[in-house]
Structures are given as structure tokens and as C-alpha cells.
Amino acid sequence: MEAEQRRFHRIPVPLTLACRRAGSLADVWREVALLDLSAGGVGFESEEPYDTDELLDLRLHLPGSGAPLLLRGRVVRSRAQPAGIVACAVEFLGMEPTQQAALDDLVAFLSRRLE
């Protein structure tokens, strides 16, 4: 069994996440299947493969907010799944205090709903 590597508790969420390779303005945003979210990162499944240590731009749509959170992340795990799907774990990098506060509030709200 693999040792727990997460610093933050992740919770399942029904939110929309889009990603693209960092700094690649020519790359299109791809909607991915968000699996879980924490104050420090996300887990998702994608048809597009991403490599470990690859940097991604992330666009997270928060409920009740008109503008999405635009974040930077680093792929910490990437594993091939059946049917050509790749499961990725991404840690957030360099968040501004307002972004971290919005994410912390969302995670706290979702955690209370799951209790």
C-alpha cells in the first residue's frame, strides 16, 4: 500500500476545472474531471497526458463567483488508467493570499456539507 503523501485533506467536489500547460497561450483550455480538492491542490482525470513535475495553468470555477480562480500548479503524480485516461495529482504553487482565502473558505464549506 502506498504511503499517504498529502499535506492537506482532500474532499470530493462537483466543480469545473480547466487546465493547460503553463505559459502556453497557444494551448487550449481543456475541461477535466475534477476528483477532489484541498487547500493545497487538486486531483483530476484527463484524456490529455501530463508528466510529473509539469507546470499547469488551472482555471477553477467557484460556486457563486463570476470569475474563476486562475492558479498555477505542478503535477506531482500522473498515472495511466484504463481507456486512455490519466489520473493526476497537482499541487498549487504561488497562490496570492486572496486566492488562498477563497480556496480555504470553499474547502471549509464543502467539508461541513460532508459531515
Instruction: Assign residue 44 the CATH number of its domain.
Output: 2.40.10.220
* Confidence (pLDDT) at 114: 65
Residue 114 lies in a domain: no
User: pLDDT for 44-96, tens place per residue?
Assistant: 999 999 999 999 999 988 777 778 889 999 999 999 998 889 999 999 999 99
Residue 4 lies in a domain: no
pTM of the model: 0.83
Residue 113 lies in a domain: no
Domain count, the chain: 1
Q: What is the rounded radius of gyration, in angstroms, for the C-alpha atoms of the chain?
A: 14
14, 61 contact by CB (below 8 A)? no
Q: What's the residue count for the chain? A: 115
CA 46 to chain centre: 11
Residue 5 lies in a domain: no
Residue-number span of the structural domain to which 79 is assigned:
11-108
Comparing CA positions, the residue from 29, 42, 22 lying closest to residue 89 is: 42
Residue 33 lies in a domain: yes
Torsions phi, psi of 8, nearest 5?
-120, 145
User: pLDDT for 15-40, tens place per residue?
Assistant: 779 999 998 777 889 999 899 988 89
